[in-house]
Every structure is written in structure tokens, then in C-alpha cells.
Structure 1
Amino acid sequence: MNETKIYLVRHAHSSYTPDEYGRGLSLKGNRDEKSLTYLMKEKQIDVVLSSPYNRAIHTVEGIAKHHSIDIQVIEAFKERTLAGQPVEDFQSAIDAVWQDETFSYPGGESNEFARSRGVSALQNVLKTYKGKSVVIGTHGNLMVLMMSHFDDQYDRHFWENLDMPDVYCLTFQGEELMKVDRIWERTA
């Protein structure tokens, strides 16, 4: 059977601004992006997809260039919207959405809604690129929410321990998750 490999890439470090689409990588993020590109050079990569957010695109840009692949932007792989307006206390806001899967702030997405959006896009990728190796540049919350659809060990605690960047290779047979391997190793 043809295995499909999905490399979920959490974007490298970025300096916070409220501009979700335009926010780029920090100096550390740019250094880590180069390390990530080097790490992925030997992998067979057929397709590179990304969230429309600049920090996600920039994180996978070197991989795409090395493999001579154009990045396809997929809106559904953008980060979950926590709220329509900036929240006063990010930690409390994150607590609320992880404690209740259906809770959302005004203008925001619940875990349930964001997971459904991400998984629907991922299932489309699995059908469209069956048997291929696909890099997806995305974001921490959405990445873990998608992974939790297949295995509930991927939870808030897992999310809190992700690096920026971080890479997990999900191996599928059809739409069944067979195994998960961490590709990225924490650097100083």
C-alpha cells in the first residue's frame, strides 16, 4: 500500500505583532528556518503547503526552494482564531478554550471548530496527494488539534511542549494514522 507522509511544521519563532498575516520570523526564527531546511534536504518531498501567515510560509520556504516546489497556500491551515479582538490575558484565554472543546470567545474559534477546519483540509490533502510526501507549514494550536483528531495523547500538555519550529511526520495508510515521528530536535 502507498503510504502518505505528512510533515506538520510548526512555524519558527516570530516576534509578536497583532498582524497575523504579515508577522515574520525573528532573528532566532530565521536561523532555525535555515537549520530546518538543512534537516529536510535529504527527505523526499513532493508537495509544500502552508498557512497564509507569513511566519508559516517563511518557515517552509527553504524546503520548497531546495526541492524546486512552489508553495501552495491553504487558508484552512492558518492558526486558530482565539478571539475577534486581542485578549487581555492570553494564558487565561488559552485555559478556557482547552478546558471546554466547544467554548469560543466572540469572533474566535473553539477547539472543536478549529480542529474540524484543520482535519477537513488534512483529509483533502490525504486524498489529493495519496502516496506522496507533503510538508504543511502551520501553527502550534492547529497542528495539535489536527493530531488530536487521530490520537488524544496530542493535547494541551503536548502543545505546551512544542518547539518553534517543530516537525512531526505523520504516516498514513489512506486516512488511517499509522505512526508519528518527531523530526525536529531542540537546539540551543
Structure 2
Amino acid sequence: MKSFDNLETQIYLVRHAHSIYSADELNRPLSSSGEEAALQAADLLKDKQITTIISSPYKRAVQTVEPLAVRNGLAIHIEEGFRERLLSDEHLEDFNHAITKVWEEESFSWPGGESNLAAQQRGVQALEKILQEHQGHKIAIGTHGNIMVLIMNALNSKYGFEFWKQLNMPDIYKLSFNGFALHHVERIWKSSDRGE
């Protein structure tokens, strides 16, 4: 019998497709172009032998992995740890300044928001739980740009703010693990959409 450390687990981090902006973070839906991109993502992932689909509770993340779930006959399991980082519970006039500040100072947080460290910790805890419970399997995770990069950053510091800025919507990265050790990262598909 193989030990846990010898079992390769493949995690497909799926950054959500383009959504319709609203202040309601939980229920923001995909745009029509986002829905089309989610179908394309399903086409790409349908033959990857994915056994489990997990998603942030946010509607745009769920909708991005929904076509894959339908095609492969899988349920979508919600994991709070993969929700997007909360920048602030107040309106911030200058988003670019606000997001730059939290990346420059990892323990800094805006009023009611999460610091990089706090968001990263919950994201990594969620990932470790998945690796423990689904060792040796292939898992798709519907998530968001900031929390996705914070998780990747905890595994390899080269994935940082500049990396986040070049992500598209959706974007898919395959992370391959031996046990809890990351040994390979591959960008397997991206769309042409940018922005939140």
C-alpha cells in the first residue's frame, strides 16, 4: 500500500469567470461572456479524471465550475475557506491603492477586512484539509484571484502581487502535490478577460 507521501494529488484551482459587478459579493452572477468561458473550462477539464468539485460559496465561483459538475455528474461541495478575501466592509475610494497596500504589508488590514496573512491562513487550512481528505485524487476548486494567489504564495513566494495582476478570468492552474509538498505548477488554460 502506498504511503500518503507517495500519492500524487492534483488540484485544479479555477479562478472564476467574468462576473456582473454588484456590491453583493455572495450573489454576483457570471456575465454572459463568463457563462461561455465556464463552458469552455468544462470542455478542458471534463477528461482530467476529476473526482471531486469544491467551490467558494460565492455564486460566481460556483457558476464557473457548474458546467463541469453537470458534465461529469458530480456534486459541488462548498468550502468557506476558498471564498475571496474581504478587503474591507467599508467602501474604499481607490481600489488599486487599497489592494496594493495589503500586498505590501502582509499583516495590514482595512476596516472590517482581512490582511494577507489572515486570508492566506484560512485558504491554506482549506487546502490542507482537501489534501488530507482526497489524497491521490484530482480535485477542481472554484475560487477567486486574491485568495488563490495567497494560497499559491504560501507554497512558493514567487506567486505574489505581480502574478495576481496578470491573472485572467477564468484562469486555471494545476498544482501537483506529493503529500503536502507542492512539486509542480502548470497554467493549463486562460481566457482573455481581465478585471474583477
TM-score normalised by the shorter chain: which range applies? over 0.9
Distance 2:137 2:147 in 1: 22
For residues 54-104 of structure 1, the C-alpha deviation after alignment (integer angstroms, 9 at most, x for no partner) is: 000000001111111100001111000000112111111011101100000
* TM alignment of 1:127-166, pairs within 5 A: 127-166=132-171
**Conserved 8 A contact 2:56-2:80:** yes
Distance 1:111 1:177 in 2: 21
Segments of structure 2 that go 5 or more residues without pairing to the other structure are: 1-5
1:83 is aligned to 88
Runs of 4+ in 1 over 2 A off after TM superposition: 185-188
1:71 is aligned to 76
Would you say how many aligned residue pairs link Structure 1 and Structure 2?
188
**Conserved 8 A contact 2:173-2:186:** yes
1:57 is aligned to 62
Distance 2:144 2:128 in 1: 17
Percent of aligned pairs with the same amino acid:
47
The root-mean-square deviation of aligned C-alpha atoms, in Å, is: 1.0
Q: Structure 1 length normalisation: TM-score?
A: 0.98
1:43 is aligned to 48
- CA shift, 1:16, in A, is 1.0
2:130 is aligned to 125
Segments of structure 1 that go 5 or more residues without pairing to the other structure are: none
Distance 1:166 1:93 in 2: 23
Q: Structure 2 length normalisation: TM-score?
A: 0.94
For residues 33-54 of structure 1, the C-alpha deviation after alignment (integer angstroms, 9 at most, x for no partner) is: 1111111111110100000000
